[in-house]
Amino acid sequence: MSFGAKLRALREEQGLYQKDLAEKLELTQKTISNYENNERFPDQKTLHKIADLFNVSLDYLLDRTTIRNPLEIVAAHRSDDPMTELPESARKSVLSFIKLVKEELGIDD
């Protein structure tokens, strides 16, 4: 997926118009349009702002990974599992909470 398509998808997920995103990033609506149409590419500072605003990694923005959040990357590389120390009822509660959050964010398993 191109950077522009990724940016548009993230913006639309948040229910933002180009004008809204432009205000948050201190840019013009035309600049956002140019980014989304792959006519321009943001500088490093703007890329960081976009990643922070949408809580995604730069690698996700640049389509180098499907993992949206850097914390998910850390969790994916853990060799220990803190869940094993929890009683069964607590594990079920944690898994239910994770499922709820994923549903709210529209993340598929």
Q: pLDDT, tens digit, for every residue of 18-72?
A: 999 999 999 999 999 999 999 999 999 999 999 999 999 999 999 998 888 766 5
The domain made up of 3-69 is a member of CATH 3.30.420.40: no
Q: pTM higher than 0.75, yes or no?
A: no
* pLDDT given at position 61: 93
pLDDT in the model for residue 6: 96
Identity of the amino acid at 33: S
Backbone angles phi, psi at 99, to 5 degrees: -60, -45
Q: How buried is 11 (Cβ within 10 angstroms: 0-12 exposed, 13-18 middle, 19+ buried)?
A: buried
Query: What confidence score (pLDDT) does residue 73 get?
Result: 53
Give the integer Cα–Cα distance in Å for 61 and 40: 15
